Amino acid sequence: MTKKLFIPKSLIENAKNNNLVFFIGAGFSRDFGFPDWNGLVKIILEKMIDENPKYKPFLALLESGTMGVLDILEHMKSEKRIIRDTIYKEFKYDISKEELLEKHRKLFGISKKIITTNYDQLLEKAAKEQIDKVVYKNAHLMGQIHNLDEFILKIHGDYEFADDCVLLREDYEKLYDKDNAALAQMKSIIASKSILFIGFSLTDPYVSHLFEYVNKIYNGYHEKSFILSVNNDDFTKYNVTNIQLENHDQIVTFLEQLSEKLGGEKPKVKNEDQDEDLDEDDFKSFLLDFNKNKKKAPDVLDLNEEEIENKYEKMVCSESFRKEIEAYSSYFPSIDEIMMSPSYIDFDKKTIITSTVRSSYNRVHNRFDSGESIFEATVDEIYDEYSSELSYKKAKLRFYIKILVSWTIIGCDIFNEDKRKKVSL
């Protein structure tokens, strides 16, 4: 029998009133094998030692705790390429572990307001890209976050933009010690919302200082926050109450029991690809709009033989993902009708869709190691290009673009690793 966990009444009430914000740290993504702060610095150090043995003493200092992470990073910061390359490579999403996202999805059944210090994109993947991602450097979105009913605030950056990730002392000081939109919004959220920390220990000196600062300003009269922890630590100076668990596995149990307390009032995130109903007339209008703003088809990169071989090696994909792509085929007749009839699109514009997909695909395929990742990156590229030009909701626009990418991919057999024909796409 599952043990009943203690859940503070004020936490339940804030969740019911849409006033609860999750603060997610590296511990919540432990199952995916992503490193925590110390682990990341250790990986960076090991790569530096391979290039220059002078960094070897710092590894011992890190492992013994003799020198703090930020101090060690000060001695490493000149190696910018290794640092940023490591961030980019270590936090890539592995679609083969998608079933582990169930824990992340449980969050959205309680609150769709989330802050994270993690560089990975697990929360976005769990939300099926339907919740606005706000990266701390985006002043425009940061300025609007108080108007958003749902958001994923990446306060320390995103691995895809590794150069902007907050890691070094100078990065922290720019974010937490100087006036900027991200810092102002963080203070506002802490003061007005109830925060629930999960997988975060409040050992981050800058984040903990920010909570202590806000607590002193309001003298403890602002909303109380909470932290799930297996340790009996005292966080009262931050106005944070420790909800002690017996082990980390109880985090899922806590989320399930909190969701039950809400009586199922909070809707789960919808799977945009399975639950989105296709309006055939609307989809055809989209196809015409897609072509309307382009005078001609974009040029497709001319790949050499080595790039083509490399491309096919990386396009190997799982059987489940292959079936997902093939499931879009029920929508292909609408595209075929548009393409085959001269009354819809001028002849010289017939290749705009395929050229757009192929061009985006060729630009991204070298950056990823699996067909799933390349597919998602291709969709992202096209979405970024068209999102400001077409007036469709985000979920619907991404859904339509996925159909176009699937239509082009199946027509070219580029997902079939058994047909690695040496042809230029």
User: Quick check: pTM over 0.85?
Assistant: no
Q: How far is CA 104 from CA 20, 101, 109, 249, in A?
A: 16, 5, 10, 14
Could you give the CA distance from residue 380 to residue 357 in angstroms, rounded to a whole number? 11
Strand ranges across the sheet with 20-24: 133-135, 151-154, 113-116, 20-24, 194-198, 225-229, 240-244
Could you give the CA distance from residue 169 to residue 380 in angstroms, rounded to a whole number? 32
Would you give per-residue pLDDT tens digits along the chain (425 residues)? Answer: 678 999 999 999 999 999 999 999 999 988 899 999 899 999 999 999 999 999 999 999 999 989 989 999 999 999 999 999 999 999 998 888 888 898 999 999 999 999 999 999 999 999 888 888 999 998 888 888 888 889 999 999 999 999 999 999 999 999 998 888 888 899 999 989 999 999 998 777 888 888 988 888 778 778 889 999 998 888 989 999 999 999 988 999 999 999 999 875 443 444 444 444 567 778 888 888 887 766 556 666 666 666 666 666 666 666 666 677 777 877 888 888 777 766 666 666 667 888 888 888 888 877 776 777 788 888 888 988 888 888 888 888 888 999 988 888 775 445 444 434 433 33
Could you give the CA distance from residue 417 to residue 74 in angstroms, rounded to a whole number? 46
Classify 390 in phi/psi space as left (phi over 0), alpha (psi -120 to 50) or beta.
beta
Which among 197, 232, 246, 198 has a CA at the least distance from the CA of 3? 246
CA 407 centroid distance within chain: 26
- Please say whether the beta carbons of 32 and 97 come within 8 A: yes
